[in-house]
């Protein structure tokens, strides 16, 4: 119903209607719920409109809007970079294509266990970052140390909450140790973790090696997910390395 001014007073059209998906024959209920969630997720729709390869791109957008680590001229490594949404954001923000006049041109390097669709402005390699010599290989590709190491990796779900938590925390710890080997002084490490009790050791390790460690759940992270992100800034190196430097000074 409309009032005399022509405004809609019925309440209809004031919000988007949710899409309901019926469970098709042969399809699991969990698959139906996933499809329904995707169809009703505003970040999924926005990713399509803006040309991102997935909704996860908005997580790194929101983290960088807050902490400003993807700056023009930065050298960025994205671990487990498929399908490439984080790469897309990094390419634009660090000026990897040199499109921003007067700004330094950065470098974006992505590594993954699988082939990733090529992306202009990013160099992507098939590599197991946990393999021996992977850190040296990445530094060779970069031509030096990295300013940012970031990871949105998650281990394959087993369906058991505690097991999945331990798996993703182990993956995050591997990513952190890789970052220690390739980061330049002052660098930043960004990674997905799961809340659940086993992240204390990682937090302690990061606090020893970075000047600031933030734990954030960006708006793009689904509210029903236990994921959050750690943003460790100002890489200082290992405590024993700093002590040796002080003795030499």
Q: What backbone phi and psi angles, to 5 degrees, belong to 184?
A: -80, 160
In angstroms, the Cα distances linking 53 to 85, 117, 218 are: 5, 10, 18
- Is 86 annotated among the ligand-binding residues? yes
- Is 51 annotated among the ligand-binding residues? no
Pairing assessment for the beta strands 210-216 and 227-235 based on DSSP bridges: antiparallel
- Catalytic residue at 25? no
b (16+ CB within 10 A) / e for 161-170:
eeebbbbbbe
Q: DSSP for 49-63?
A: HHT-SSTTHHHHHHH
Would you give the distance in Å from CA 201 to the centre of its chain?
Answer: 21
**Tokens 């997580």 -> residue:** 59
Contact between 150 and 191 under an 8 Å Cβ cutoff? The reply is yes
Given 22, 192, 207, 217, which residue is catalytic?
A: 192
**CA atoms of 201 and 22, how far apart (whole Å):** 44
Report helix angle 57-67 to 85-93, nearest 10: 40
A 10 A CB-CB count for 240 gives 8
- Is 128 annotated among the ligand-binding residues? yes
In sequence order, which ranges of the chain are alpha helices (DSSP H)? 29-40, 42-50, 57-67, 85-93, 134-142, 161-182, 200-209, 239-248
- Is 248 annotated among the ligand-binding residues? no
Residue positions forming the annotated binding site for S-adenosyl-L-methionine: 84, 86, 112, 128, 152
Q: Which sequence positions are flagged as catalytic?
A: 192
């Amino acid at each position: 119903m409309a009032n005399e001014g022509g405004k809609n007073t019925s309440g209809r059209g004031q919000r988007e209607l949710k899409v309901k998906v019926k469970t098709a024959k042969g399809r699991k209920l969990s698959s139906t719920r996933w499809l329904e969630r995707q169809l009703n997720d505003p970040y999924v729709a926005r990713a399509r409109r803006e040309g991102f390869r997935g909704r996860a791109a908005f997580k790194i957008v929101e983290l960088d809007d807050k902490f400003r680590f993807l700056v023009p001229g930065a050298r960025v490594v994205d671990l487990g970079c498929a399908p490439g949404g984080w790469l897309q954001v990094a390419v634009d923000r660090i000026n990897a294509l040199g499109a921003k006049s007067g700004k330094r041109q950065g470098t974006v390097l992505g590594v993954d266990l699988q082939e990733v669709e090529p992306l202009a402005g990013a160099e992507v390699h098939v590599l197991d970052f946990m393999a021996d010599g992977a850190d040296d290989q990445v530094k060779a590709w970069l031509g030096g140390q990295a300013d940012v190491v970031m990871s949105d990796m998650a281990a394959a779900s087993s369906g058991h909450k505690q097991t999945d938590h331990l798996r993703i925390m182990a993956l995050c710890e591997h990513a952190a140790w890789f970052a220690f080997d390739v980061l330049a002084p002052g660098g930043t490490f960004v990674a997905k973790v799961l809340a659940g009790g086993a992240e204390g050791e990682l937090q302690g390790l990061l606090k020893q090696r970075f000047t600031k460690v933030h734990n954030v759940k960006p708006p793009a992270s689904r509210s029903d997910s236990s994921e959050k992100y750690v943003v460790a800034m100002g890489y200082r190196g290992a405590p024993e390395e700093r002590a040796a430097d002080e003795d030499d000074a």
